[in-house]
Amino acid sequence: MERDGQRDDRGAVYSGRKDHSVTILYLLLTWVVGIVAASFLLAPPIIILVFGIPFTYEMKRQGVLTGSSPAGRYLASLFLLLGLFVVVSWGIWHFFPAYVWGYVVGLVLTFVPSLRKCGRTQANIADFLATNSECLDKDALARWMHAKETARDHQ
């Protein structure tokens, strides 16, 4: 290919300038992929590790969970989501190496605020109870909830 005003082998004129609109488009694309990856592939495994698995074992010890425990589903989800996160990150790194920073910025700006949602929040407890309702002993759950309310009232 020839330079500056010359035509390449396809007949296109080369201006000598880089097209910044494509750069911006790829940066935005990798930024959005980072947001989605953090929201759906990174934050849920952290919630599973910090809340889901420990809470499952606590409910099992308290006799609230009966039958098959959701811990197996949590472990499967953990490995599947982290595996997908690794594949997406590798794809960005491999196919868009010049735009990795867009991906990293999307990850960080989404993941850091989501850390507040990783603990024993009312939303996580409600989601756990709704998702695993078929495995719950309703009487044991009522006793556990009453004990938690009583303990909170005495503080």
The one-letter amino acid code at 52 reads G
* Res. 8 pLDDT band, cuts 50 70 90: low
59-104 pLDDT per residue, tens: 998 888 886 678 889 999 999 999 999 999 999 999 999 999 999 9
CB neighbour list of residue 27: distance below 8 Å, 6 or more residues apart: 99, 101, 102
* Res. 9 pLDDT band, cuts 50 70 90: low
pTM of the model: 0.78
Closest CA to 97 of 24, 19, 26: 26
For the chain, state the CA radius of gyration. 24
* Res. 10 pLDDT band, cuts 50 70 90: low
Distance from the first to the final alpha carbon of the chain: 77
